[in-house]
Structure 1
Amino acid sequence: MFIASLYSDYYKRLWSWYSTPHVAKGGGATRVSVFQRTHEERQATENLAHNQKALMEIYLLSFSEELVTSGLSTFGYVSSGLAGIRPAILLTAFNHMVPETPCQRAVSMEPCNLTPPQGLKCRDKPANEEDLARHIKVCEDFKDGVKFFD
């Protein structure tokens, strides 16, 4: 299991949980390895080395067979697109209210456009809204955003 987070607490909790073998239904013990490449503890977008580590973590995440990402996560959006997989999204708890279904499979690997453009045009003509509606959905993790799907 690979953890990409600014904070080491997520790693420590998951490592503690998975470091002891769990008995599977077949009777054999299963051990899960937990890794965290970096844990910067704070955002530092003005720092080149910090940004290089972030890019490296996005790239490592893109090798995932399964990806669970938090809502509104740029890391999750980019890495799932690179991996070509639909992530499971842990939906954001707005106003400290956890959604009824806290985890949802994304409709596509495409990222959420958090600020969709208004008045779309195609070759200087207004876009066919009916045609667009067949390929665009509201984002799972942000009701004002849109994303493409097949």
Structure 2
Amino acid sequence: MPRFRAELERLFPDKETVFHHLGNYLFNPSNQAWGLITRFYDAYLARADERIGLQVRVFNTKASPIPLVAKQLLKCTQSEGILPQLQVSTKVTNNTSSTKTKAVLIGSLYREFYEEMKYEYWTRASVDVHQASHEESQNSESNSHNMKALADIYLLSLCDVLVTSRWSTFGYVAQAIGRVKPWILNVPNTNYSGDRLPERACRRAVSMEPCFHYPPSYDMKKKVVVDGEVGTGPPVVHCEDVSWGLKLVNGRQIERLG
């Protein structure tokens, strides 16, 4: 509401950290969940020079077959320099003092993404691939399932680089808590492109803030509730992955978008 705007401006001068602060204040994992997070992090991620989180959400495995999505994920990480290009070689490469070690964390319901990435990089001693859990299907009624999901979110938030999936609130929370601006994976859909991969594998998000998929009808320019499409304007823009959704950005990012 307009009367709260001045107070919100004082509370959140940096528009791209609103959810970061609120999320870290409101999300408090239990001791058991923190145990999962810290044990996995210390065992597999802590000693790497760089931690890379790959969060893959597939809503329909028939329209988006896992092998096709895995190819797109590999294309994204290599084309954007997140992971090294693969070279045809049967010789296992060893670490050198100049090689940065990378710990790759797969965040997905499916184990196949871990297995595919592990297979691709088994000859690269500088790249280790890990997955904390793979539940195969979503089961929100299970506390155990939800605790593993929360652990995955926090582990992803501790990564230096993130690749997330379009439409995924799971990825939104991880990027915001970790204050990481992610690359958004363009998940292929055979209903539209057949077996061809979209030319653009992924794109960089303009801010770390999550996308509000179904925003209220409030016009930022007129500062009134309206019917129909919401007007955009500082500090609100349409999302990269959901065209009608809205997200917060700083003014300099709006200038870059324009």
Q: Scaled by the length of structure 2, what TM-score is found?
A: 0.49
Matched, 1:114 2:213: yes
- After superposition, give the CA deviation of every residue in 1:94-131 in whole Å (9 maximum; x if it has no partner): 5333544231100000001110111369xxx727x88x
- The answer (yes or no) to whether the contact 1:37–1:57 under 8 Å persists in 2 is yes
Q: What is the alpha-carbon distance in structure 1 between the residues aligned to residue 113 and residue 199 of structure 2?
A: 23
* Residue 91 of structure 1, CA deviation: 2.1
Could you say which residue in structure 1 is the equivalent of 2:184?
A: 89
- After superposition, give the CA deviation of every residue in 1:52-82 in whole Å (9 maximum; x if it has no partner): 1000100000001000011111221001101
| Dislocated runs of 4+, deviation >4 Å | none
- After superposition, give the CA deviation of every residue in 1:8-51 in whole Å (9 maximum; x if it has no partner): 00000000011112xxxxxxxx5300000000111101111100
- The answer (yes or no) to whether the contact 1:19–1:31 under 8 Å persists in 2 is no
Give the root-mean-square deviation of aligned CA atoms: 2.0
Q: What is the alpha-carbon distance in structure 2 between the residues aligned to residue 96 and residue 41 of structure 1?
A: 25
Residue type at the aligned position of 1:106:
A
Could you say which residue in structure 1 is the equivalent of 2:235?
A: 135
Could you say which residue in structure 1 is the equivalent of 2:146?
A: 51
Q: How does 1:34-45 map to 2 (within 5 A)?
A: 34-45=129-140
Q: 1:8 aligns with which of 111, 122, 127?
A: 111
Structure showing the higher helix proportion among its residues:
2
Q: Scaled by the length of structure 1, what TM-score is found?
A: 0.82
Residue type at the aligned position of 1:55:
L
Secondary structure of the 2:152 match is helix
| Number of equivalent positions | 137
Q: What is the alpha-carbon distance in structure 2 between the residues aligned to residue 137 and residue 46 of structure 1?
A: 34
Identical columns (%): 42
Residue type at the aligned position of 2:243:
K
Larger radius of gyration: 2
Q: How does 1:66-81 map to 2 (within 5 A)?
A: 66-81=161-176
Unaligned runs of 5+ in 2: 1-103, 251-258
